[in-house]
Amino acid sequence: MKYALIITGVLAGLAITAPQLVVLGYFLLVVPGLVLNVAPTVFVYLAVTAVVRRLLPIGSPMKATAVAFGVTLLLGWAVMQPFRLAAIAAYHADELPDVVPSQVIELDGHVRIERPDQRREPECDYLALAALDSPLVESLTTVTAGRGKPSDTLPSAAYALVSAKADPAAGIFPNEPGRIVREYPPLVQANRGMRVITASKAVEANWAVRLAGDERLREVDAIEDEAADWIIRIDSQSNYRTSILQRVTILDSKGTVRFRKSYRKQAVPARMFYFGFQATMAGGPVSASFHVGRQLMQSGERSLEPEPTLLQAIKFTVPPCDAQALELLRDQTVQALDDPIATTAQLDLASRYLGLFFFDTKTQDHALIARIVADERVRDIETPIKNVFSNDKTPAAMRDAYVDRISMDHTSASLRHWLAERLVSFPPGTFANPDAKYLAIWDSPEIYQQAAPLIATLADLGPKLAMPKLESMLDTALAVPHWRDRRSTIDGIRAALIRLGPQASAAAPRIRELFLSRPSPIMNSSGDADQWRFALARMGVAIEDLPVFPNQSPKSVERNLRQVSDKMRRYEQENATREEET
């Protein structure tokens, strides 16, 4: 007994203090993991058996051990019963029976959807839109837990579908209305494989056309629960392996439950005492721990998903998934762009059209996309345009349109920067014959500072036109007091000088002087210094003449110059390969 206690005690200590060893044991030979898994439980039972054995007035060691072990098993059962019975009683006390009517429920009046477990701000999503899109529903209030800290008042928002006659101004567009194709079971069954993408786009296109026509989706005053005609509550609670609650409840204005379906899973203490083990390896390091043994109790359909269940419980207009909606949206987008007096709601169709692409455009789409981007009347394209073309695969047809969008007064700084990044990836020489809008960008420090990556393309103009502009930009950038505000401009200037190469040699003395200034206004790290050495080498400065810091060791200087030399060689090889391909 003594040796068994020592061995299991050591193993139990290892397992509890370092539970990852249990996982490792299972991966290696299985048996070591199994031994470490049961070691804490075996040690506790052996320790209690040893204590009970010493208290028993039995002379025979074998009989005393057997009786003590039986008493220990009884204690292992008894100690769990109070906790187990209390947990089971609490589980049954919270149990609510399902209520399933013979017909689907037709909502009317003011509907309120409460999702207290949803950690995002309330919005008009596909589920709210389905409940709202009924002839008898006047408004839809949605309530969530929000993104902030829990509070007594949950954030809410309310929406209504109204006629555009009284107010034709553009309204709100719902968030991902096409997602209903992936959530409503009949639509899921009807649209398998790649068809689900087309169907989702068709739903969104249909809503875009509809909300630019005779209807508008507008935000209205929220309806409190006591004034609502229908309250829909979606509970979705999960605490890993210990508890799960998925429940949909629909109540009428009198508080009567008209529909309810639930799935519950709850961990309760096991019948016998033991140490259970759990490990998770999802998306990171192994997380392992021991816990007091438990048993899972569950009720309801394990496959229950609240949103699809709700959609099947209510009567609503199932959105059409006809691909012709995509053509209709395209046609109406073209009409809006052709119309010089098109309304904001009509022009919004253009951004909705852009939103239908997900890096899957075809050549025949490029002309219309470019036209949308270049039309100053079309706003709010920043989000959809970023999902139209993948990185470094922007077609040349977008060149002038992207330049036009950069030059627009209402274009945001972030969109200007993004568009400039795409344009700078075009082959050298793309801007050798620039138009007036491209040249006008360089007369506006605000624009070119926000579109700083585009500065590199000035090299396409040749040194006679590019160098005066780069020198003027450098003067403007040096006057900016904070590095974080001038960094992107400095990076763009350096990229242009690298592209110009020996044609920018006249600027080398000034760059050297700024490099050696303390503090240097053109760099903020050793990485910046390496980039400027490479730029100077491209501008014609010999490797051995590149500037270094006075306090650098010979070994460090040698390493820096060798890195520049290697980078020059790679750059020349890449350029040679690019020229051969073109």
**pLDDT 10s digits, 208-227:** 999 999 999 999 999 999 99
Question: Is the predicted pLDDT of residue 280 greater than 80, yes or no?
Answer: no
* pLDDT given at position 51: 86
pLDDT reading at 282 higher than 70: no
Q: What is the pLDDT of residue 284?
A: 56
Q: Is a pLDDT exceeding 60 seen at residue 352?
A: yes
Q: What percent of the chain has pLDDT over 70?
A: 97
d(CA 519, CA 521): 6
Lowest mean per-residue pLDDT among 19-28, 239-248, 304-313: 19-28
Tens digit of pLDDT for each residue in 35-71?
888 888 888 888 898 888 888 888 788 888 888 889 8
- For 240, counting Cβ atoms within 10 Å of its Cβ (0-12 exposed, 13-18 middle, 19+ buried), the class is exposed
H/E segment holding residue 263: strand 257-269
Separation CA 487–CA 449 (nearest Å): 9
Q: Closest by alpha carbon to 488, among 522, 515, 461? A: 522
126/132 Cα distance (integer angstroms):
10
Residue 142 CA neighbour count, 13 Å, CB half: 22
Assign 367 to helix, strand or coil.
Answer: helix
Pick from 19-28, 112-121, 518-527: least confident: 19-28
> What tokens appear for 12 in the block?
């139990």
More confident residue, 187 or 242: 187
Does the pLDDT of residue 582 top 60, yes or no? no
Q: Look at residue 190 in the predicted model and tell me its pLDDT.
A: 92
Query: Residue 283 — pLDDT band, cuts 50, 70, 90?
Result: low
Q: Is the pTM of this model over 0.85?
A: no
- Which residues have C-beta within 8 Å of that of residue 454, sequence separation ≥ 6? 406, 420, 423, 424, 441, 448, 492
Q: Which pLDDT score, from 0 to 100, does residue 184 have?
A: 96
Q: For residue 454, what is the DSSP state?
A: G
- Contact between 216 and 167 (Cβ < 8 Å): yes
Q: Which residue has the higher pLDDT, 547 or 148?
A: 547
Q: Tens of pLDDT along 364-423?
A: 999 999 999 999 999 999 999 999 998 878 999 999 999 999 999 999 999 999 999 999
Euclidean distance between CA atoms 545 and 557, whole angstroms: 11
What confidence category does residue 19 fall into, taking pLDDT thresholds of 50, 70 and 90? Answer: confident
Residue bearing tokens 């199932």: 318
Mean of pLDDT over the chain: 91
For the chain, give percent helix, strand, coil, nearest 5.
55, 15, 30
* HEC string for 462-508: CHHHHHHHHHHHHHHHHCCCCHHHHHHHHHHHHHHHHHHHHHHHHHH
Confidence of residue 152 (pLDDT cuts 50, 70, 90): low
300 pLDDT higher than 70: yes
CA–CA–CA angle 453, 540, 505 (5° rounding): 65
Long-range contacts, stretch 414-419, CB < 8 angstroms, 24+ apart: 414/382, 415/381, 415/382, 415/385, 416/447, 416/450, 416/451, 417/450, 417/451, 417/452, 417/453, 417/488, 418/382, 418/386, 419/451
| Cis status, amide bond into 320, omega within 30 of 0 | no
Dihedral-angle region of residue 26 (phi above 0 means left; psi in -120 to 50 means alpha; beta otherwise): alpha
pLDDT band at 529 (very low <50, low <70, confident <90, very high): very high
- 512 vs 549: CA distance, rounded Å: 11
pLDDT value at residue 11: 83
> What is the length of the chain?
582
Q: How far apart are alpha carbons 47 and 109 in whole angstroms? A: 67
**How large is the average pLDDT for residues 480-507?**
96
Which two three-digit tokens encode residue 543? 């490797």
